[in-house]
Amino acid sequence: MSVKAEFLFDFGSPNAFLAHRVIPHIEKRTGVKFVYKPVLLGGIFKATGNQSPMQAFGHIKNKLAYEQLETQRFIRSHGISDFKFNPFFPVNTLNLMRMAVAAQSEGILPRIMDAVFHHMWIAPKKMDDPQVVKAALVESGIDPALLERAQAPDVKAALIANTEDAVVRGAFGIPTFFVGEEIFFGKDRLRDVEEAIHVAMASA
């Protein structure tokens, strides 16, 4: 029995980007390839009553400063040197996530992941502006017609289904991971995710 590891992501989450940068190292150490699943973070928030950390903790003295400190620790620990916070945050990612679903159906999701995350969190742009997105795709060597394919009814339905399924399985934010049906939330749980993979492999 093979071990299934899943990564639920939304391009608008900086923590999803940071997790994306660490996952290949876990894959190399374990030999288990993660399944990437596009979901809409805004949809998860709406369904669960959750909020972004800025909204939820903005009124708590020292809380956001500590969260930023933990992010810097994570970045240093994993040798990530090119992360830049997007000045247009929060970015409406509805069309980006539909594009990810379309790309997955066409077998080009890895290219889209690298391109969109680059333009969100390495060379940050206003990625909810269709013209900005189109130019970013062209810059990355990707046919911008993908934006049109992302508006197909089946693509829209698939993103809704992914998001609803994530909530049913226990997700309330991004990044969320599953090893089998065991859920983990947050980039700081990646060590636990890797440990769970090893445990699952040993019992498979």
Mind listing the domains of the chain with CATH numbers?
5-203 (3.40.30.10)
Distance between first and last Cα of the chain: 5
The secondary structure element, H or E, covering residue 34 is: strand 34-38
* pLDDT greater than 60 at residue 50: yes
Tokens representing 93?
A: 């990612």
How confident is the model over 149-163, as a mean pLDDT? Answer: 97
CB 21 within 8 Å of CB 78: yes
CA 178, CA 190: separation in Å to the nearest integer? 11
Mean pLDDT of the chain: 95
pLDDT tens sequence across 25-37? 999 999 999 999 9
Tokens representing 161?
A: 């289904």
- The pLDDT of residue 199: 96
CB 138 within 8 Å of CB 144: yes
Residue 177 vs residue 61, higher pLDDT: 177
CA 112, CA 137: separation in Å to the nearest integer? 9
Number of Cβ within a 10 Å radius of residue 130: 11
pLDDT band at 52 (very low <50, low <70, confident <90, very high): confident
